[in-house]
Chain A
Amino acid sequence: MPQLTDDKRIIVDKVSFSYKSDDVSDSRPDKKALDGITLNIEKGSYTAVTGPNGSGKSTLAKLIDILEMPDEGRIVVFGKDTSSDRSFWDIRRKCSIIFQNPDNQIVGTTVEEDVAFGPENLGVPTDELRKRVDKALKDVGLYEYRERPSSALSGGQKQKLAIAGALAMHPDILIMDESTSMLDPHSRQEVLDIVEAMRIRDDLTLITITHDMTEAARCDRILVIKDGRVALEGTPAEVFSEKEKIDEMSLVMPVEYSFAYRLAELSGGTLSMEDLKDRESLKTACARELKKITPGSIKESPFEKKAEKDEVILQVKDLSYSYDDGKTYALEGIDLDVHKGEILVIAGRSGCGKTTLITHFNGILKAQKGSVTVNGIDSSDKKNVMKIRQKVGLVFQYPEYQLFDETVYKDICFGLKRWGVPENEYRERVNKACEMTGFKTTNLEKSPFELSGGQQRRAAIAGVLVMQPDILVMDEPGAGLDPAGRKAMFDMISRLRDSGVTVIIVSHNMDDSAIVADRVCYMRRGKIVKVGKPEEMFCGAENEFNIPRPYITEFALETASLAGIGDYDSCGDFTPEGEALALASYYAGGDHHDR
């Protein structure tokens, strides 16, 4: 144990913390968010704190910045004790946090006013303030936007704004508390690149709290927290060599590690600590293992092609939509057939028109030009509104924000009442919807606001499924969930498809959706770029339309080209294990061994 006066470390020593319930009538014991946790973080290091939702990761950030005080134990930040009044402001001004929700941390009405908020609080003189604000905005690439209203920025830009606000305070410690979890992969990459560059330049201690393992793998050191304690710690190589422990804690490996393990299993080789060091060495190791595979040792094409469905249930014809009377088009000339019983993923970056498109599917937006028909019924026609909305269930992003009634049961029944479904059918329909979504029926009589986030989302989805729609449209169903939650969500989507429901998923992230998709429709700037089966969209190095691939497909392609098979054009089921098998069987099947 290092000395507590050590000014080169953040030391957390046997710290416990529980959130007190404000409700006096609530007799449940306070749940311990942290339970005697001990850890230390080196000055200038890049540390990931990870673990399932509710493991106490975010609490740790708040304790370091003295936004909360520990019940027991001590925290010493670079030699200053957080419990001492004298060091309070010293610590807080040197430690900045970027929070999860971009909207809820912006104070200023314009971009530059928001960046200035922190240093203004510190009493920085005006001319120095101007310099700091301009510099911070240039660092994150928002200088051109400095006079814009902050609410008009995109989600990714808002997080960059929050980073600028932190940088302007000249912090020593920067904590990212799930800061990228609400962003699309492109913005996420940009945000991480910025903070990593700033860390090197300003010698920051960077702590990133995340449940994204691929993000954690970028750090020097990983702390895995479970039930309020450190369950596993070390370099990425050390942590990800503990495959059993990771599985046991219902965490998931970063996809490239799962891929490498499966590949090594197929080749009969082993991965050394050096191989597990980072993405590059992992790729080299994968190429090495791939070359060990002997021809014919793996059977060809282990993946059965999904059956084609071609009965059209929803048809979009030449649909265009503009929010500003034709100056710009959110949708332009969209033609799309949705087939009965398939899972169609509509993908594209934030702001490409995906949500505008699906809002036409049940007639909430009326077609300005072109048409949307469901089973031959025009969705824009006022007479058909109720019929269409029963047939096409729409689950928007973060549907838990739509819950309103006293009990979950009443909330789920809302639609049934509106459609005049006989009351004696309610119970059975609700139970069925709960079963589909995995909502615990014992919670039905509770207020929706007492539930955990995951249960709330299930309740909200049940409130749509209870209408027994033929088509279910979901906007970013996995947003904000941890890996276990996301897996449960996509399992549910597969179950729905198997029970005959046509599912349309809108997503900016291909990693999960490529696995379940029967077909993918990629959009860019209001237009459809390409529609096809996942393998047609993502396989092979050739990428005519520059469509972003799932992370694992990208990794498999890079491995293939490193192993000398740059013409690799097959793929598996888009799970890391599946991709490893597909690559190995391709290698075993061909005559690549002479090269």
Chain B
Amino acid sequence: MIGDMTLGRYSNTDSILHRTDPRVKLILYVIYLVAIFMITDPLALIALAIVTLVLIFMSNTGLKMIWLTVKPVLPLALFIVVINLFTIRTGRVLFNKGFICISDEGISRAVLMGMRLIFLIMITSIFLTLTTTPLKISDALESLFSWLKVIRFPVHEMAMMMSIALRFIPTLSDETKKIMNAQMSRGADYDTGGFIKRIKGYITVLVPLFVSSFNRAEDLACAMDARCYRGGVGRTKLNPLKIRRADIVIGIVLALLAASLVITDRILGQVLI
């Protein structure tokens, strides 16, 4: 359910990763994304899993929190695995009956794809959502992309929009629950019936949610005006981003770790061939 999503829910536990400069984390995040998509060797994948575990440990958020972020994606991961399993027919055929054909390459490919998605989610939560407040993420984006201001790209405004969107996710998810309860009390049923019927049923939630979001937006704009908001010019920050030596060290160490994973993968790949 929407309310169970931990997306955008900051985990308020202190750790080295929490204290790391968000720009460093953002860059590391991109590096790890690339690494995840480059690694194909099973041994390297195991190494990646170990590194991820170390990162989880560094982030001090606990395995349960990570599980909560991974759990909602599992059906999708399973779906990807199944699709790959049945559509890839290259390699040695292990099983062939009617239109079902499973090959060894299909299996390894399917597992790899499923793993990638899960790693992706875990890395996102470790570097971004769980350890970095949305406002810091948008600060980091604003800072990293500030050169775009030269071509008049509204960097500050985009960052502000993003942080407000993230700020309102918990509020709107609570509201969604309330509206669904109210409609269910009037006989609405969101759990049974076919796909189309369910989508249609959600109109009773979406319309009120939209209307209230517009009202909220109007109120919020007024409140921001009253608090003297006038865009990014001349704004100061309570917690300005400051690069410390520790940030650079963590950045370099973790980046090298990712690089070594990729290199290991390449070497292992060559050895096997």
Contacts and interface: CB of A to CB of B under 8 A. Distances in A.
Contacts of B178: 396-397, 401
A415 B186 contact: yes
A404 B204 contact: yes
Nearest to B206: A404
B223 A104 contact: yes
A40 interface: no
B236 A96 contact: no
Interface stretch (A108-116, A228-236, A477-485, A583-591): A108-116
Interface in A118-147: 118-126, 129-130, 133, 147
Interface in A389-421: 389-390, 393-394, 396-397, 399, 401-405, 414-415, 418-419
Interface in A58-87: 62, 65, 67
Contacts of A463: 186
A99 B181 contact: no
A126 B223 contact: no
Contacts of B239: 113
A107 B238 contact: no
Interface residues of B, number: 51
Interface in A353-409: 359, 362, 364, 386, 389-390, 393-394, 396-397, 399, 401-405
Contacts of A402: 179, 182-183, 186, 208
B115 interface: no
B220 interface: yes
Given A99-B223, A120-B235, A169-B227, A404 B203 contact: yes
A302 to B, nearest CB: 40
B238 A103 contact: no
A97 interface: yes
B10 A149 contact: yes
Interface in B160-178: 163-164, 166-167, 170-171, 175, 178
A106 interface: yes
Interface string A167-179: 0010000000000
A449 interface: yes
Given A113-B135, A113-B239, A97 B226 contact: yes
B236 A364 contact: no
Contacts of B207: 404-405
A168 to B, nearest CB: 10
Contacts of A581: none
B181 A396 contact: yes
Nearest to B223: A105
Contacts of A110: 10, 133, 135
A125 B12 CA distance: 27
B12 to A, nearest CB: 6
A593 interface: no
B219 interface: yes
A432 to B, nearest CB: 17
Contacts of B226: 65, 67, 92, 95-97, 99
B149 interface: no
B135 A121 contact: no
Nearest to A93: B228
Interface in A326-377: 359, 362, 364
Contacts of B204: 404, 414
Q: Provide the main secondary structure of the chain A interface.
A: helix
B167 to A, nearest CB: 5
A107 B167 contact: yes
B236 A123 contact: yes
Contacts of A101: 216, 219
A476 to B, nearest CB: 12
Contact of B237 (A103, A126, A364, A393): A126
A108 B238 CA distance: 11
A117 interface: yes
A104 B220 contact: yes
B2 interface: no
A467 B164 contact: no
Contacts of B229: 117, 121
A111 to B, nearest CB: 11
B181 A113 contact: no
B224 A130 contact: no
B185 A364 contact: yes
Nearest to A469: B185
A115 to B, nearest CB: 8
Contacts of A393: 185
B236 A120 contact: yes
A545 to B, nearest CB: 30
B187 A418 contact: yes
B225 A464 contact: no
Contact of A67 (B9, B187, B212, B222): B222
Interface in A23-65: 62, 65
B220 A121 contact: no
A485 to B, nearest CB: 19
Interface string B1-25: 0000000011010000000000000
B225 A113 contact: no
B134 interface: yes
A275 to B, nearest CB: 40
B225 A124 contact: no
B34 interface: no
A109 B179 contact: no
Interface in A449-466: 449, 463-464
A579 B232 CA distance: 58
Nearest to A394: B185
A103 B216 contact: yes
Contacts of B164: 107
Contacts of B166: 109
Nearest to A95: B226
A500 B187 CA distance: 23
B228 A89 contact: yes
Contact of A103 (B171, B205, B224): B171
B170 A116 contact: no
12 contacts: A67-B226, A105-B223, A107-B227, A108-B135, A130-B238, A149-B10, A150-B167, A152-B170, A165-B227, A359-B181, A414-B186, A467-B187
Given A101-B216, A129-B237, A401-B212, 12 more contacts: A89-B228, A92-B226, A104-B216, A152-B170, A169-B228, A386-B187, A394-B185, A404-B204, A415-B187, A418-B189, A419-B187, A467-B187
Interface of A: 62, 65, 67, 89, 92-93, 95-97, 99, 101, 103-110, 112-113, 116-126, 129-130, 133, 147-152, 165, 169, 359, 362, 364, 386, 389-390, 393-394, 396-397, 399, 401-405, 414-415, 418-419, 449, 463-464, 467
By Cβ-Cβ distance, the 5 closest A-B pairs, closest first, are: A418-B187, A116-B238, A104-B219, A105-B223, A404-B207
